[in-house]
Amino acid sequence: MHAQHCHAYNEGVTSSILNADLHCHSVVSDGTLTPEALAARAKANGVELWALTDHDEIGGQDRALVAAHANGMKYLTGTEISVTFANKTVHIVGLGFDADNEQLRTGLQRTRGGRSERAQEMSDGLAKVGIHGAYEGALKYVGNPELISRTHFARYLVESGVCQDTHEVFRRFLTEGHPGFVPHRWATLKDAVQWIVQAQGMAIIAHPGRYGFTANEEFALFTEFKHHGGQGVEVVTGSHTPAEFVTYADMAQEFDLFASRGSDFHSPTESRIDLGTLPWLPGQLTPVWEALAHRIQ
71-90 binders of ligand AMP (CB under 6 A): 82
Q: Which amino acid is at 279?
A: P
Beta-carbon contacts of 177 under 8 Å, excluding residues fewer than 6 positions away, are: none
**8 A C-beta contact, residue 84 and residue 96:** no
Distance CA 88, CA 70 (A): 39
Is residue 55 near ligand AMP by the rule CB under 6 A? yes
Is residue 155 near ligand AMP by the rule CB under 6 A? no
Residue 240 near which of ligand AMP, Mn ion, none (CB within 5-8 Å, type-dependent): none
Distance CA 269, CA 189 (A): 32
Distance CA 283, CA 294 (A): 22
Is residue 234 near ligand AMP by the rule CB under 6 A? no
Is residue 32 near ligand AMP by the rule CB under 6 A? no
User: Taking the CA atoms of the chain, what radius of gyration do you get in angstroms?
Assistant: 19
Phi, psi of 120 (to 5 degrees): -60, -45
Is residue 43 near ligand AMP by the rule CB under 6 A? no
- The DSSP call for residue 273 is S
Question: Segment contacting ligand AMP (CB under 6 A): 40-48, 127-135, 144-152, 234-242?
Answer: 144-152
Q: What sign results for the dihedral spanned by CA atoms 225, 226, 230, 236?
A: positive
**8 A C-beta contact, residue 257 and residue 92:** no
Is residue 264 near Mn ion by the rule CB under 5 A? yes
- Least separation in angstroms between CB 97 and Mn ion: 17
21, 30, 191, 234: residue in contact with Mn ion (rule CB under 5 A): 30
- Least separation in angstroms between CB 9 and ligand AMP: 31
Is residue 149 near ligand AMP by the rule CB under 6 A? yes
Is residue 263 near ligand AMP by the rule CB under 6 A? no
Residue 82 near which of ligand AMP, Mn ion, none (CB within 5-8 Å, type-dependent): ligand AMP
Is residue 151 near ligand AMP by the rule CB under 6 A? yes
Distance CA 194, CA 229 (A): 7
Site string for Mn ion, 77-96 (x = CB under 5 A): ---x----------x-----
Residue 41 near which of Mn ion, ligand AMP, none (CB within 5-8 Å, type-dependent): none
Q: Which amino acid is at 234?
A: E
Is residue 141 near ligand AMP by the rule CB under 6 A? no
Is residue 170 near ligand AMP by the rule CB under 6 A? yes
Is residue 41 near ligand AMP by the rule CB under 6 A? no
Residue nearest to ligand AMP (CB): 149
**8 A C-beta contact, residue 96 and residue 295:** yes
Phi, psi of 279 (to 5 degrees): -60, 160
Is residue 112 near ligand AMP by the rule CB under 6 A? no
Residue (16 or 149) nearer to ligand AMP, CB: 149
Which residues, in sequence order, are bridge partners of residue 91? 82
Count of residues in the chain: 297
Is residue 57 near Mn ion by the rule CB under 5 A? no
Q: How far is CA 191 from CA 109, 263, 292, in A?
A: 13, 25, 21
Give the interface with ligand AMP as residue ranges (CB under 6 A). 30, 55, 82, 149-151, 166-167, 170, 266
